[in-house]
């Protein structure tokens, strides 16, 4: 990848994903092709969530006094909240916040809805736009001020054990979602100083972008009873006591689309997993004057057969050179291209070109549907394996801080090493090698902390992050 950031910005424009010329920094327009990509990704997400969550929709605006109720939470967001102060020419007597996330919009309503343990567990989600006045460098899809594709799930439980189980369930759901999109990830527990404001702890999914920096693509938070105490979400237990509920929430955003684009892209442009590609197959007629009529009729027949078999197919019959079409659909990442010319008609064969490996395959026309289905599945697996291999190759262990510093300088990527878990030790590591501690997983074997030599219970992962 030449300069990844340049590649990323160019491809968003060339492949007509979004238009970032909208006159508000950090807010962009979804163009039709990008909108279809986003739509298919959300369809997959909804199918997973709808198994045991209910989709809802809460207001965009949050009254100032509600937003400020949970002090740690509001501290974490106070410099990111957009405010509404007027309705028309009338000054509002109470400022209204544009939701940065919806805990403080939802939880006063949960307090009204939840009375008895029979009202639990509650598992809802919404897919909305949220607003954060990001002061760090904004970047389309990666760090925006209007998060247009913010899926937030919020659950309420009778016990901490059930909330813990829900955290594990959320992790399973996200694994299934990212596996379907062929996006690799590492899952770690964020250090305490980097958890979601107001949560007990945060589990995060990070993926690795081609420039060696990691991107946080989803988070799961165990909220314990902090918010239920602040917002008075209480329920009557089977034995008649009143208990504060236990809560979790888990979110992801436009960064999912960013990672599909960034992780699978190559020098020719996008390589879209068939699950989310706006068109899975592009038919390009190879026209020679005399047989033009016959070739076009054959293309129409093939298109119909593929549509009837449930594929998303486009017949590109524009009056431009076939080579231009090849370039364009390669750049837009269509997984498969079908070329049909007079020769193929005679032999009753069809030439397929795979976008992921760029190899060409000749198949008999009569085996069309099952061949295409097999190849599309193979493309999904190839993209997934390639992406996982690439990420795992860039996770290196360091035996001392000097080595860690070198690896980050030369190769970036993710480094792991044993860590004691102490905050000031962690902070001193971040200072010494100038990278963030992504998070921790349980240490595999007994070892001593890379920095202070104390017993290391954890394996720490570090990386330069977005």
CA distance 208 to 383: 15
Cis before 121 (ω within 30): yes
* 252 binding partner (options Zn ion, ligand 5CA, none; Cβ < 5 to 8 Å by kind): ligand 5CA
Say what angle helices 32-49 and 160-180 make with each other, to 10 degrees. 140
Using CB under 5 A as the criterion, what x/- string covers residues 381-420 for binding Zn ion? ---------------------------------------x
Cβ of residue 143: shortest distance to ligand 5CA, in angstroms?
5
Using CB under 5 A as the criterion, what x/- string covers residues 298-337 for binding Zn ion? ----------------------------------------
* 236 binding partner (options Zn ion, ligand 5CA, none; Cβ < 5 to 8 Å by kind): none
* 452 binding partner (options ligand 5CA, Zn ion, none; Cβ < 5 to 8 Å by kind): Zn ion
Cβ of residue 347: shortest distance to ligand 5CA, in angstroms?
50
Query: Which residues in 418-447 contact Zn ion (CB under 5 A)?
Result: 420, 425
**Helical residues (DSSP H) of 132-218, grouped into ranges:** 160-180
Token representation of residue 335: 């997984």
Cβ of residue 103: shortest distance to ligand 5CA, in angstroms?
6
| Residue 156 binds to Zn ion (criterion: CB under 5 A) | no
**420, 456 contact by CB (below 8 A):** yes
Q: How many CA atoms lie within 13 A of 201 on its CB side?
A: 12
CA distance 112 to 374: 51
Token representation of residue 72: 């740690």
Among 132, 259, 451, 462, binds Zn ion (CB under 5 A): 451
**108, 117 contact by CB (below 8 A):** no
Among 98, 187, 322, 452, binds Zn ion (CB under 5 A): 452
DSSP state of 278: S
CA distance 62 to 64: 6
Binding site for ligand 5CA (CB under 6 A): 101, 103, 132, 134, 143-144, 147, 152, 196, 216-219, 221, 249-255
Residue 4 to residues 25, 134, 433: CA-CA distances in angstroms? 21, 22, 23
Minimum CB distance to Zn ion smaller for 106 or for 440: 440
Minimum CB distance to Zn ion smaller for 407 or for 450: 450
Minimum CB distance to Zn ion smaller for 111 or for 428: 428
Cβ of residue 440: shortest distance to ligand 5CA, in angstroms?
17
Minimum CB distance to ligand 5CA smaller for 145 or for 337: 145
Token representation of residue 448: 């001593």
CA neighbor of 147 nearest in space, from 219, 54, 55, 211: 219
Q: How many residues does the chain have?
A: 466
Minimum CB distance to ligand 5CA smaller for 228 or for 253: 253
């Amino acid at each position: 990848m030449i300069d990844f950031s340049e590649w990323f910005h160019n491809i968003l424009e060339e492949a007509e994903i979004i238009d970032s010329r909208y006159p508000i920094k950090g807010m962009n327009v979804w163009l039709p092709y990008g909108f279809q990509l986003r739509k298919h990704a959300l369809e997959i997400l909804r199918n997973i969530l709808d198994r045991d969550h209910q989709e809802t929709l809460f207001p965009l605006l949050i009254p100032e006094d509600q937003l400020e109720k949970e002090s740690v939470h509001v501290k974490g967001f106070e410099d990111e909240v957009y405010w509404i102060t007027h309705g028309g020419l009338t000054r509002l007597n109470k400022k209204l916040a544009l939701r940065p996330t919806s805990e403080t919009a939802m939880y006063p309503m949960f307090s009204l809805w939840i009375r008895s343990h029979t009202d639990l567990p509650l598992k809802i989600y919404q897919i909305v736009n949220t607003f954060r006045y990001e002061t760090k460098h904004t970047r389309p899809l990666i760090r925006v001020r209007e998060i247009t594709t913010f899926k937030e799930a919020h659950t309420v439980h009778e016990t901490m054990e059930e909330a813990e189980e829900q955290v594990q369930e959320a992790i399973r759901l996200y694994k299934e979602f990212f596996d379907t999109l062929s996006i690799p990830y590492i899952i770690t527990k964020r250090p305490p100083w980097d958890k979601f404001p107001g949560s007990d702890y945060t589990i995060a999914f990070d993926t690795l972008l081609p420039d060696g920096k990691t991107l946080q693509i989803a988070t799961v938070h165990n909220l314990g009873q902090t918010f239920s105490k602040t917002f008075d979400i209480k329920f009557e237990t089977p034995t008649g006591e009143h208990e504060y509920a236990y809560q979790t929430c888990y979110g992801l955003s436009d960064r999912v689309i960013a990672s599909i684009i960034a992780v699978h892209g190559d020098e020719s442009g996008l390589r879209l997993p068939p699950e989310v590609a706006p068109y899975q197959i592009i038919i390009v007629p190879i026209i020679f004057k005399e047989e033009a009529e016959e070739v076009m009729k054959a293309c129409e027949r093939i298109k119909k057969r593929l549509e009837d078999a449930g594929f998303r197919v486009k017949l590109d019959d524009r009056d431009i050179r076939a080579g231009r079409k090849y370039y364009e659909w390669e750049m837009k990442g269509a997984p498969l291209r079908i070329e049909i010319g007079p020769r193929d008609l005679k032999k009753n064969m069809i030439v397929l070109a795979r976008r992921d490996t760029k190899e060409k395959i000749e198949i008999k026309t009569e085996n069309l549907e099952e061949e295409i289905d097999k190849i599309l599945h193979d493309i999904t697996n190839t993209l997934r394996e390639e992406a996982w291999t690439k990420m795992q190759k860039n996770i290196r262990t360091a035996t001392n801080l000097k080595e860690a510093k070198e690896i980050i300088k030369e190769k970036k990527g993710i480094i792991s090493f044993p860590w004691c878990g102490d905050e000031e030790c962690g902070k001193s590591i971040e200072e010494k090698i100038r990278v963030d501690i992504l998070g921790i997983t349980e240490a595999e074997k007994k070892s001593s902390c890379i920095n202070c030599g104390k017993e290391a219970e954890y394996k720490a992962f570090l990386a330069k992050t977005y």
